[in-house]
Structure 1
């Protein structure tokens, strides 16, 4: 007992996060392998159960079997719980139980929570977790209520309530699982403004991050937003608007997508497909029917992803903003990077560069390997690899046809994408202390 406690104390926060998520995936895999979890009454094979559990815990939404028709109610509830735990983070859920049982939150726990929430300090971390739990439950409850009322017109109330709760949880946590069967997601509701707006609100709410939510709630009193919130909100709004315009232009005459819709359907479809690559995974248009230009543009949106401290993945909007700001500053011959009249320290810029390059290297490597193991077009494979890294869940139809090795590789990519490449790197090779010396400055020609 003492040995295990000492081992736990020796682990760094990134290592505990990796082990924690790994443990949740293992439990989920075992539960989904039970005959009671599916409608066939036969045990699900290990690889498909592992893939589904990883996809749910990493709030991705890529599926090898249809969630709505293959899994029983028990299996679907297991998936929903994995999504909730994975979206909020297992340490957040552990903190909830500790608060309910009135247990003290240790310094080690606070350090892990700081790492999980991408915070720069431990100050107010437990208060933030309380707010995270409150905001999540309130937003999911409102979403579930509205979706239930809408779907009560299409199905019995009990089923509508079940669907409302399941999809509110999966959409707020930016997972792409749905219960409508035949891998069709929300394509049957492309014209429905209520379903579109509620789902988009849930996706954006889960994707902007809990720090921004707290800032927005406090805005009435403070009358100011932090630099982080300003960057997240402005970049999120810009990406959604630009994405909608680009998709609208590229798909306007495409009979497989927007071409057959009226003006209302075109606008709703364009905005929904712009919001969903922010790591959500739901879709109201057939992704395989999109033009290649639109598909590649969605790959870019998926790579950028959501915001820090959120339920989403990707390199994050703040990282992307910092990289753009650095390029603009360099082109203008400026020595400092300034956003909203705040100067950014060099350490943050280097971290953003590191995250972007590690993510790019991961996606390229996975796409290259899958190109040799899977029989599909390169764009389809790149789409799949980026969707897995960004924990998005959108697919061009490749997922159910992946080889055994392909499923394993995509599972690893989803895991790496949920934790973040930098956290994973720190976990595998713990960060060393500060060096006590400096090397002489060297000069190298660039460009």
Structure 2
């Protein structure tokens, strides 16, 4: 009996990195749920319902930003700080936050922890992994401090300086971690044409969404020619998407009286820029998303599905994954044997992994979307799809459905947010072949008709 228990304990302890990451995030979400349910977390001193607290905690840990209650009026300072801590820990990732605690306590970091950490931050190798984590933490705190300082100075002109400092800190952490939580009921709509707020908030979530690897690579290499292929691709695709999106939103919403139509030209440009770059990363908004044209919402669904860069605080299938799929398609169309970019050949296993991530993402989205059409009867399908993809991409933009979701719908969106934060990474890890389990048998080849 004792022997069997010991064997079972060993099996639990020998969980693979993907499982450990999942259980780690679940533990953090559960703890956050309990803290947000405390009477001291809410203004009315009545504890938040379990489903609502679970939704908010998941949204914070998964750095999504979707909310079933208004953050600024529902939560006390204590509740808001808990939410902010969950956002910070979720943005860093479970293992990075854990390694930080190890470093603070002076604990030894073993090989197993390093392997899990490598998987969690999408690093190519174990070499210098702890140093990388230390630099990630320093970069995060430095960028958030600078962002908070500039925002606090800007907001001090229209609110008490204590409130301005708090607003600066809250929105800086929320933006850099691509969470999208705000303290105003209409997000950042009152600053739709404010250059400082628009530039600082977008700069924060673009930096957070482009990934620590890219930021460090730029600092170390300094010239474009020396940058890694990943960095070049991430920068190139980000620039194209952001530029194109600005003009697409401007064109589609220019005469819409509910969004850009009544704004002066300068505010129209700022709003178009903001809403053009925000869908791939954070859930802030400066215009009413629910009042945007159907064409704009469909375009934004595409951006949310693509998401941010690998190794970042953002979600989606990632811009590099989408780029690899397009490059693979182009190589097939042009009858090329290899997929190449910037005079470098992409390994076939990465193409297969990118394809698997995209297909898995579509299957998850379709499943949750289908179930939501059952639980949210009478709701427009377009709104349900927008909410589903927003949750998967951990974006946090809403077409106005989140607050009206049924209890079952809230659970489904909670699951979708969790999959969006964990799923693509976990699926990628699962595709790595384990040499111990690798079969040596190769069967006879036979073709099937496709296309």
Given candidates 407, 422, 434, the residue that maps to 2:438 is: 434
**1: CA distance between counterparts of 2:407 and 2:70?**
18
TM-score (norm 1): 0.96
1:141 to 128, 142, 145: 145
Question: 2:15 & 2:172 partners in 1: Cα distance?
Answer: 35
Alignment partner of 1:326 is 2:328: yes
Contact 1:18 1:427 in 2 (8 A): no
Secondary structure, counterpart of 1:338 in structure 2: strand
The corresponding residue for 1:298 is 300
Whether 1:411 aligns to 2:414 is yes
Q: CA RMSD in A?
A: 1.9
Q: What are the residue-to-residue correspondences of 1:358-437 with 2, within 5 Å? A: 358-374=360-376, 375-421=378-424, 423=426, 433-437=437-441
Q: For 1:185, what is the secondary structure of its paired residue? A: coil
Say if 1:391 and 1:414, in contact at 8 Å, map to a contact too. yes
Q: Deviations over 1:146-174 (max 9, x none)?
A: 11001111110001111100110000000
Deviation at 1:421, TM superposition (A): 3.4
Q: How many equivalent residue pairs?
A: 445
For residues 101-146 of structure 1, give each alpha carbon's deviation from its aligned partner in whole angstroms, at most 9, with x where no partner exists.
3322110110111110112321221111111101100100000001
When normalised by structure 2's length, the TM-score is 0.95
1:355-414 CA-partner distances (Å, limit 9, x unpaired): 000101111121111112113101100000000000000001100111111000100110
| More contact order relative to length (CA 8 Å, sep ≥ 6) | 1
Which of 57, 63, 77 is equivalent to 1:59?
63
- Report deviation, 1:2: 8.1
2:279 is paired with a residue whose SS is: coil
Deviations, residues 273-309 of structure 1 (Å, cap 9, x unaligned): 0111112000111101110000000000000000111
| SS, match of residue 343 in structure 1 | strand
Residue 180 of structure 1 is matched in structure 2 by 184
What secondary structure sits across from 1:276 in the alignment?
helix
The alpha-carbon deviation at position 100 of structure 1 amounts to 2.4
Q: Quote the residue 2:281 is aligned against.
A: 279
2-structure distance, mates of 1:31, 1:389: 25
Between the aligned partners of 2:68 and 2:433, the Cα distance in structure 1 is: 35
**Which residue in the other structure is 1:352 paired with?**
354
Looking at structure 2, the residues matched to 334 and 148 of structure 1 have their Cα atoms a distance apart, in angstroms, of 54
Gaps in structure 1 of 5+ consecutive residues: none
1:134 and 1:352 mapped to 2: Cα distance?
Answer: 31
| Residue number among 192, 195, 199 corresponding to 2:194 in the alignment | 192
- Cα pair distance change 1:118/1:330, threshold 3 Å: same
Tell me, in whole angstroms, the C-alpha distance in 2 between the residues paired with 1:120 and 1:319. Answer: 16
State which of 82, 89, 93 in structure 2 corresponds to 1:85: 89
| In structure 1, distance between residues paired with 2:91 and 2:175 | 10
The equivalent residue for 1:156 is 160
The structural deviation recorded for 1:427 is 7.1
**How far does residue 219 in structure 1 lie from its aligned partner after superposition?**
2.2
Q: Equivalents in 2 of 1:320, 1:253: separation in Å?
A: 32
With over 3 angstroms needed to count, the CA separation of the structure-2 counterparts of 1:135 and 1:8, relative to structure 1, is farther
C-alpha contact (below 8 Å) 1:416/1:424 kept by paired residues: no
